[in-house]
Amino acid sequence: MKSLRPSPPDIEPGEEALVQQDNEVKPRITGGLLGEFHERDAFFFESVSAFFNHAFENGAGAGRNGTASNSGVLTQLQSIVDNTTEVIYVKDLDGKLILVNRPFEEMFGLFRGQIIGKTDFDIFPEADARRLRENDQKVLTTGNPIEFKELVPRPDGLHTYMSVKFPLKTTEGSIYAEVGISTDITDRTRSCESRRHLAAIVESSDDGIISTDLNGIIASWNKGAERLYGYTAEEIIGKPVAVLIPPDRQEEEPGFLDRIRKGESISYYETIRRRKDGSDVPVAVAVSPIRDEAGEIVGGSKIARNISVRKQLEMQQKVLYQLATTVNRAPALPEIYEAALDAICHCQNTNRASILLFDPRGVLRFKAWRHLSDAYRAVAEKLLEAKRTHKCNFESTYVSDVSKAPWDEEIRALAVHEGIRAVATLPMTYGKRRLGRFTVYYDTPHHFTREELFTARTIASQVAFAIERHERIAALREAVVQMEEFSYSISHDLRAPIRAMQGYAEVLRQDYGSQLDGTAKEYVQRIIEGSERADRLIQDTLIYSRVSRRELHLGPVSLERLIREIFQQETRPEFSHAQISIESPLLPVIGHEPSLMPAISNLLSNAIKFVAPGTTPRVRVRTEPHGGNVRLWIEDNGLGIKPEYQHRLFGMFERIEATEKYEGTGIGLAIARKAVERMGGRIGVESDGVTGSKFWIQLPAAANP
């Protein structure tokens, strides 16, 4: 039977296009009676029709009455159709099934008795049944065999059938029934479709996808591989994959083949491959074994992705990072220029670059360069000199091809002679300040991409930043040096005449005291006191400026030791009269001892100094933990400071007490506050203005030694 049937419809991808939306295979009916059915097909249909007619007629016309009989011929027909793999059915003119074969029963899990006499509408959902009925009507109306692609719902989903339907005619030629032979092509359709999809994916992939046999001979080659390696499929298929591998990496391929033979995959491997034109390309490769239907490993697939863009970006990132690191290290400028030239040459794959900076006259001068001849630089500088100041173009300029650029003939000739074919010039600015130019040269005409200009600009701005910072640091250093010289000369030169006043007044008193009356002696005394005060002011101002600007290296300070040292060194007479109690152990702090010393010393001397006449100064020194900090308290029995004055206390030249009664420059607490704040601490006072003051200094706690 099978040999008589039309060969199963061939649904290779190319032919699939013939199947129209209505699922009818058009060409086969457009050509007339039997369309393009072959002669053999026509013979087949006629034979089958005759056979059916014979069977139905001999079955006492049962068929025509819509019921299958058990007559011998019909039984014979039934057993023939039952033993095919195709689904075969006969419907009368009303669409009632009058014969179905076993595959039909199996298809729906129904018995013949449940099916015979039913229509498609009884078996299928209405929409599907209507479509099937439409196909039947076409056959019955045209009287011709037609092949359809039919979709039929089954319990496991929609199945695709290729159905050949043809009418049964009486010997007089009138149609009385229709036969359908349907072949389930669902699997074939599916696998074909997925195969086609896969093929399309492989072909359109940007990745190079190739397969080799177990000896590394290339068996397939997609368009992506052609783009990646430069070989066409015709050129490369049949060649060993080794032609793609640079000499120093030839050992990779045997390793891959070994892994493939063992059934292992390599999901990611970065390597270098060689193109047809001899250039190398960085690729990421995935390798997997290919198995035949029996599961035997027959070869390997390789998917290679061009990672040169990523590698380039990674390299640029690294180069920019290194440059930033160098700039941050703040070395001398020439080192930064060299690092910037290195970076741009590396990123742009060129070996020529230059940095030009404005000289004091506003003329651009080469400051650093790579591979530019003396002659070229001389001519370039000559031209730059001519168009200095406002005429100088300060935009970015890109010359893709020097030979076509509207340049001065002399410099163009020189550039071409040097091998310079393209130039990108970027302004180096910091804020609005123009510093110079950063130039990259290429030895071939160059199309500038946004990415590479971005990189070049980043490098240029790093250089500009470095120059600006360098100049600012130099200016700051200069200012600090000048400040120090100023302080130094104050301490030497300004104090000398004050010392002289003081000294001579002293001499007057000692040597001529007997000749002076009381008033004269009083005046001499005032000169001495005035000059002493002037001297102290100068010294305190110097201490204040030193505390303000010197570099502080913070470390643990033992307050216990420091405060005892201060008392030991203190020679002022009032210290010896005071009662001092130190509540040991004092907690250690983090600070800068040379700055902390004058601060504490000031608080102590204030505590002793400002007492009511006739009172013995009593000072209590203690520490207490205060969060992660330590508070040093210096408490006295002095005059105290009224709350309304306390805010003025730590300012420069602020004095709460009148000069006459209590000596002081008014700088001491300013020094203390400046020192403590610079150490990251705080200073304060608690006082009601009657019963003494409690000054405190708060600094981070140090671990107990």
Partner 1 sequence: MNPREPVILLAEDDRNDVFFVRRGIEQAGARVSLRVLPDGKDVIDYLAARGMFADRNQFPLPSLLLLDLKMPLAGGFDVLEWLRTQPALDYLPVIVLTSSPEERDRQKAAKLGATRYFVKPPTQEMVSEMIQLMRSAPTAM
Question: Contact positions toward partner 1, by CB under 8 A?
Answer: 488, 491-492, 495-497, 499-500, 502-504, 507, 539, 594
Residue listed under structure tokens 């002659």: 375
Distance CA(175)–CA(167), nearest Å, equals 6
Please, which residue, 186 or 539, has the CB nearer to partner 1?
539
**423 DSSP β-pair partners:** 399, 441
Residue 49 is classified by DSSP as H
Closest distance of CB 566 from partner 1, Å: 16
Which residues, other chains included, contact 204 with Cβ-Cβ below 8 Å and sequence gap of 6+?
A: 223
Closest distance of CB 491 from partner 1, Å: 6
Please, which residue, 465 or 504, has the CB nearer to partner 1?
504
* 3-class state of residue 461 by DSSP: helix
Distance CA(227)–CA(224), nearest Å, equals 5
Please, which residue, 310 or 499, has the CB nearer to partner 1?
499
Please, which residue, 425 or 605, has the CB nearer to partner 1?
605
Closest distance of CB 499 from partner 1, Å: 5
Rounded alpha-carbon distances, angstroms, from residue 200 to 189, 194, 205, 300, 367 = 16, 10, 8, 20, 57
The radius of gyration of the chain's CA atoms, rounded to the nearest angstrom, is 52
DSSP string, 667-702: -HHHHHHHHHHHTT-EEEEEE-SSS-EEEEEEEEBP
At 615, list the tokens: 């009172």
Closest distance of CB 461 from partner 1, Å: 40
Closest distance of CB 516 from partner 1, Å: 19
Closest distance of CB 483 from partner 1, Å: 14
DSSP string, 286-321: EEEEEE-TTS-EEEEEEEEEE-HHHHHHHHHHHHHH
Closest distance of CB 594 from partner 1, Å: 8
Residue 421 is classified by DSSP as -
Strand order across the beta sheet in which 297-306 lies: 218-221, 208-213, 297-306, 280-291, 266-274
Please, which residue, 390 or 553, has the CB nearer to partner 1?
553
Please, which residue, 503 or 585, has the CB nearer to partner 1?
503
Exposure of 681 in the CB half-sphere (CA atoms within 13 A): 30
Please, which residue, 505 or 641, has the CB nearer to partner 1?
505
Closest distance of CB 547 from partner 1, Å: 13
Closest distance of CB 476 from partner 1, Å: 20
Residue 404 is classified by DSSP as G
Strands 433-442 and 208-213: unpaired
Please, which residue, 69 or 539, has the CB nearer to partner 1?
539
Please, which residue, 488 or 523, has the CB nearer to partner 1?
488
